[in-house]
Amino acid sequence: MKKLFGTDGIRGVANRELTPELALRIGKITASLLGRGEKQPLILIGRDTRLSGAMLEGSLVAGIASAGATARLLGIAPTPAVAYLTRSLQAAAGIVISASHNPIEDNGLKIFNREGLKLPDELEREIERIYFHYDELGAGLPRPEGTAVGGVQHDGELLESYLQYLKSTAASLEGLRLVVDCGHGAACYSARVLLEQLGAEVVIMHGEADGGRINVHCGATDTAALQREVVRRGAGAGLAFDGDADRLIAVDEKGSVVDGDAILAICAINMVRRGRLQKNTLVATVMSNGGLDLLGEKQGFRLRRTAVGDRYVLEEMLAGGYNLGGEQSGHIIFLDHATTGDGLLTALQLLSIVRETGRPLSELAGQLERLPQVLYSHPVASKEGWDSNRVISSAIESLRGRLGRHSRVLVRPSGTEPLIRIMLEAPLPEDKLWDEARNLAEIIAREQG
């Protein structure tokens, strides 16, 4: 069956794969399925700063209104804000127009149900079934007339209630000097307001809501400039958000990166000591460093691993009754406070620990002793069939033998881009791991060409 949804919603190059026509149909189908049984159900829409966002927003609104639902536009808003507000207002759905960390030409659609959760697989499949058989099945969707046609509302003030909620989860940040890289994305307004209201001294970088520069040499995917600025300013920490502000990468006072694994380690240790880590279990993906397993043995928590993708982390958390999980890339889920990864919430939880312990961020992050690990991405002509290719399978098994004990070799296709991603981890020099990763990537690319 053809697929629209990847690991994080629908993504593609805007106006090529992700067209206004697609957005219109998705808006109509989503409103019809998730708003079924309601009179003029409410659907929230937020977007990041991408230039194509307004175009896709207009099409979504047309589809939603044509199904008899009301579209409430939040404007530029972080993805987790849409998830939170959808849940708090008990809206039928929330839709975010964003491609997160992807290049500026891409865009995407993330859909949340009324609980603020990403859609289950079966509902995504039903949306896809109707979309790909629209000539046949689209006729059965609602097409109201007159006063039953849906409406459009503009409500930028709702974002303030989200920021007030975040403030309630954090300690005062009085006296902290922070450098914040907004990546020209959805955090441009929210980050400064929230952190300054909590008392921090804030220096903003890449703070203009500029869809032509979103994620370009800035934000969570490129922290080089932030690292330099933290040291130059003598700041206590740096914070870098991605395009839709659902992930955080931090920088310590020495200019070193504090990634998702280190943030998870800091928060897990703190929650164990306070008796707040449910079942003393942390959830992370197969990409997280093996040092987390070793740290857990010392600090009294165990690690459960999932497939790559924050949706799989959340599924494991919900199924097992766990309240902390995340990814090395900076998607961190605090299930006591939110239903999705939230960069701003993560920043507040991390900085609250810095304030409460009185320890510098570098010292807290140093609690995680990492095994050497490299991550390598390589473009391929096709992501299909690599896992059943005998040449590739043989190369992977041979590599595992060369790396030896306490090693991991993970190969997976990107869920959003035409790439194969390779992660190697072993108690060996990093330059050797890089060489092995490149060699394996060349074999895969040759076989998939």
Q: Which residues are catalytic?
A: 100
User: How many Cβ atoms from other residues are within 10 Å of residue 339's Cβ?
Assistant: 22
* H or E segment to which residue 108 belongs: strand 106-113
d(Cα 3, Cα 86) in Å, to the nearest integer?
26
Closest CA to 173 of 332, 348, 345, 337: 348
β-sheet bridge partners, residue 412 = 421
C-alpha separations of 88 from 114, 261, 392 in Å: 9, 30, 48
User: How many Cβ atoms from other residues are within 10 Å of residue 299's Cβ?
Assistant: 17
Residue position matching structure tokens 């008990």: 90
- Show the DSSP H helices in 78-157 as ranges: 79-89, 121-132, 134-137
Tokens describing residue 427: 């108690």
Give me the half-sphere count of Cα atoms (radius 13 Å) on the Cβ side of residue 314: 21
d(Cα 78, Cα 148) in Å, to the nearest integer?
31
Q: Is the dihedral of CA 329, 332, 274, 194 positive or negative?
A: positive
Fill in the amino acid letter for 164: Q
Q: Is the dihedral of CA 79, 82, 88, 92 positive or negative?
A: negative
Tokens describing residue 226: 């932030």
d(Cα 143, Cα 323) in Å, to the nearest integer?
42
221: Cβ–Cβ under 8 A, 6 or more apart, which residues? 101, 183, 215, 242
C-alpha separations of 424 from 9, 392, 393, 446 in Å: 27, 15, 15, 20
Sequence length of the chain is 449
C-alpha separations of 287 from 18, 32, 60, 273, 374 in Å: 29, 37, 35, 26, 10
Closest CA to 165 of 214, 124, 126, 116: 116
